[in-house]
Amino acid sequence: MKPTRTTQPIIRTVLLSILFLSPLFVIPLVPSPANAEAAKKQSTSSKKGIDIIAIVDDKSITEKDLETRIKLILVTSHIPITPENIKSLREQVLKNMIEEYVQVATAAKFKVLAKENEITAALTQVAKENKMTLDQLESTLKQNGIQMSYLRERMKAQLSWINFVRGAYAHTLHIGEKEIDIHFDKEKENAQKDQFDIYEIFLRADDVSQLPSVEAQAQNLIKQLKAGASFRMLAQQFSNSPSASKGGYVGWVTKNHEGAKAYEALEPGQVSYPVKTNHGYYIYYLADKKLAGQGSTGDVLVSYKQVTIPLTAGFKPEEDPYLSAHLNELMPTNSLGEFEKAAKERDLPIQSVSDRKLSHFPPEFRSFIETLSVGKPSMPSLTPDGMMIMIISNKKAAEPEKPLSREEVKGMLESDKLSKIASQNLTQMIGKTYVKLTQPSDFPNLAYGKTTKSTATA
């Protein structure tokens, strides 16, 4: 589900970008036997599970804390849990955890920490957006070895930081009538140009010497994205742009936008190559596009059910003793009801996706969906978690976007200002925080982690 153009309270903007944000393929969160085994090996192989790897002011971050957070990101982003993927994320995830500490410490100093009922309400909304109750969300995380407390901590940092920035800088967020008029004039002008609905990830390099390592990180993220990871989840976790709080969502732009060369040749659902700047690299995702004076290309909403049959460890798919029996029951079905009944009788979990815009799927997968008829099972497709079969339950035309009201435009412009202020202030706060890494050689690009004490958190 793409963020709409209508302005929503900033708490909702954060909620929609934290976890479970419409992956390119719907894959069960319960790990496959292969992933579960990899996770077990990774956990048991760490002899330093409780070792302290970083000290931020008076708070310690342990190896176990870092491993659990990485696992949370891998599971919710639908990235396979492998030693290679875990290693590639360690540095960036530790950086995020350090930033979260600064956010919470700052909010605590000014007595604007998010309250428990606010955090619970936020988590309830996350669950609702994913068609779960809060208990079901907690159960899903536990099945993957993740305690709900880790998600609560992340939510607490996000909400507390918003409280601080809003309270400290509310007086700077005034949007005048002239600014709103300029926005509407620009919208009218852009309607006569080709437009692109884009998301972005910006990876910052603190100096020129870091550009090669940042490019390598960008290439790694692109690899994960092409394998099916959620762009919005990775943007929220790793992007250094103010748009990170919205899952990297930029909105509709024209060819005048600085990254146009990277995405104007893409098809909806594709990811760009890394775009180099003097300060780092951008990665763009094209969600949709529309030609001058025309509607967007993705005007069809698709709803479907999906079953993923786990494969028996040690067997090739064609030799699996259970796979053929499952397929013989599912494939001959001639309706959605028969398909769901067959899956339930064989204890196969069913995932549901409702009203997904056709243009938001990767091009190859979009072409695959276009060939399917409503109520007819697809041909089986091999995925990292098993053999996937899907059945279309509905296809319908999308409703045209409604123009924004003046009040909605005002809220949107205020949120943009707030995001930029928040990003600038976080950089300043980190510069005034004591950060010490116990093994700095393990995190070569965390320059601030090699310093000694400067001053306490501002």
Q: 221-242: string of b/e by CB count within 10 Å (b at 16+)?
A: bbebbeebbbbbbbbbbbbbbb
pLDDT confidence of residue 47: 41
Q: What is the pLDDT of residues 271-320, one digit of tens each?
A: 999 999 888 899 999 988 887 766 555 568 888 998 989 888 888 888 88
- Look at residue 123 and tell me if it is in a domain: yes
Please check whether residue 347 is in contact with residue 329, taking contact to mean a CB–CB distance below 8 angstroms: no
By residue count, the chain amounts to 458
Range name among 8-17, 70-79, 220-229, 237-246 with the lowest pLDDT average:
8-17
- Is 406 inside a domain boundary? no
Q: Summarize pLDDT for 252-272 with one digit per residue, the tens.
A: 888 777 788 888 888 888 899
Q: What is the pLDDT of residue 78?
A: 66
| Residue that finishes a domain, picked among 296, 327, 347 | 296
Q: Is residue 160 part of a domain?
A: yes
Instruction: Determine contact, residues 242/419, Cβ cutoff 8 Å.
Output: yes
Handedness of CA 158, 259, 424, 171 (dihedral sign): negative
Whether 408 is in a domain gets the answer: no
Would the pLDDT of 103 be above 80? yes
Closest CA to 36 of 66, 65, 74, 64: 74
Instruction: Specify the DSSP element, H or E, that contains 247.
Output: none
- Please compute the mean of the pLDDT values over residues 176-204 and round it to a whole number: 86
Q: What average pLDDT does this structure show over 205-226? A: 83
**Are 254 and 310 part of one and the same domain?**
no
User: What is the rounded distance in angstroms from the CA atom of residue 249 to the CA atom of residue 247?
Assistant: 6
| pLDDT score, position 425 | 76
Specify whether 39 is located in the same domain as 162: yes
Lowest mean pLDDT among 206-215, 263-272, 318-327, 339-348: 206-215
Strand partners, 353: 304
How far is 425 from 430, CA to CA, in rounded Å?
9
pLDDT at 5 exceeding the cut of 50: no
The answer to whether 199 and 285 have CB atoms below 8 angstroms apart is yes
Residues spanned by the domain of 137: 10-172+420-450
Contact assessment for residue 256 and residue 198, using Cβ atoms and an 8 Å cutoff? no
User: Based on the domain organization, do 268 and 336 belong to the same domain?
Assistant: no
Band of residue 211 on the pLDDT scale cut at 50, 70, 90 = confident
Q: What 8-state DSSP symbol labels residue 19?
A: S
Is 189 in a helix, a strand, or coil? Answer: helix
Domain tally, the chain: 3
CA 344 to each of CA 107, 307, 330, 347: distance values in angstroms, whole numbers, following the listed order:
48, 10, 10, 5
SS3 303: strand
Burial annotation 388-398 (CB, 10 A radius, 16+ → b, else e): bbbbbbebeeb
The pLDDT, as a whole number, for residue 299 is: 67
Position 331 scores a pLDDT of 93
Q: 275: which strand partners?
A: 282
DSSP codes joined into one string, 225-245: HHTT--HHHHHHHH--SGGGG
Picking from 267, 296, 325, the residue at the C-terminal end of a domain is: 296
In the prediction, which pLDDT does 2 show? 36
Mean pLDDT in residue range 25-42: 38
Question: CA-based Rg of the chain, rounded to a whole angstrom?
Answer: 23
The dihedrals phi and psi of 404, each to the nearest 5 degrees, come to: -75, 145
Query: Cα separation of 433 and 52, whole Å?
Result: 18
pLDDT in tens, 106-159: 999 999 999 999 999 988 887 776 667 888 888 878 877 788 888 888 889 888
Model confidence band, residue 40 (pLDDT cutoffs 50, 70, 90):
very low
The verdict on 157 and 56 lying in the same domain is yes
The 10 Å CB-count burial string (b at 16+, else e) for 251-285 is: bbbbeebebbebbbebebbbbbebbeeebbbbbbb
CA distance 146 to 354: 27
Is 375 in contact with 334 (CB distance < 8 Å)? Answer: yes
The secondary element (H helix, E strand) that includes residue 128 is helix 116-129
Q: Which residue's entry shows tokens 């919208």?
A: 187
CB neighbour list of residue 29: distance below 8 Å, 6 or more residues apart: 75, 76, 140, 141, 143, 144
pLDDT value of residue 297: 52
In terms of domains, do 85 and 228 share one? no
**Shared domain check, 26 and 167:** yes
Q: Which of 162, 58, 55 is nearest to 110 (CA)?
A: 162
Q: From CA 316, how far away is CA 278, in angstroms rounded?
A: 48
Claim to verify: residue 29 and residue 164 sit in the same structural domain: yes
Determine what percent of the chain is predicted with pLDDT higher than 90: 17
Q: Is the pLDDT of residue 388 over 80?
A: yes
Q: How far apart are CA 78 and CA 359, in angstroms?
A: 20
Residues 200 and 283 in one domain: yes
Here the CATH number for the domain that contains residue 441 is 1.10.4030.10
60-90 residue pLDDT tens: 999 989 988 888 888 767 677 778 888 888 8
| 155 and 226 both lie in a single domain | no
* More confident site: 345 or 451: 345
Residues 158 and 193 in one domain: no
Q: Say which CATH number the domain at 229 has.
A: 3.10.50.40
CB neighbourhood size of 205 (10 A): 21
pLDDT band at residue 191 under the 50/70/90 scheme: confident
Average pLDDT over residues 329-338: 92
pLDDT at 341 over 90: yes
CB-neighbour burial class of residue 177 (10 A; exposed 0-12, middle 13-18, buried 19+): exposed
Instruction: Provide long-range contacts, Cβ within 8 A and 24+ apart, for 131-135.
Output: 131/352
Amino acid at 352: S
At residue 169 the predicted structure's pLDDT band, cuts being 50, 70 and 90, is confident
Decide if 244 is inside a domain: yes
Residue 414 lies in a domain: no
CA–CA gap between residue 96 and residue 73 (Å, rounded): 12
Assigned domain for 409 exists? no
Does one domain contain both 276 and 377?
Answer: no
Given 296, 327, 350, which residue is the final one in a domain?
296
On average, the pLDDT of the chain sits at 77
Per-residue pLDDT, averaged over 34-63, amounts to 63
Domain contains 405 = no
Instruction: Mark whether 202 and 226 lie in a shared domain.
Output: yes
Task: Give the pLDDT confidence score for residue 95 in this predicted structure.
Answer: 85
DSSP-derived 3-state class of residue 53: strand
Q: Directed axis angle between helix 148-169 and helix 134-143, to 10°?
A: 120
Predicted confidence at residue 293, as pLDDT, reads 61
State residue 248's pLDDT score: 85
11 confidence band (pLDDT: 50, 70, 90): very low
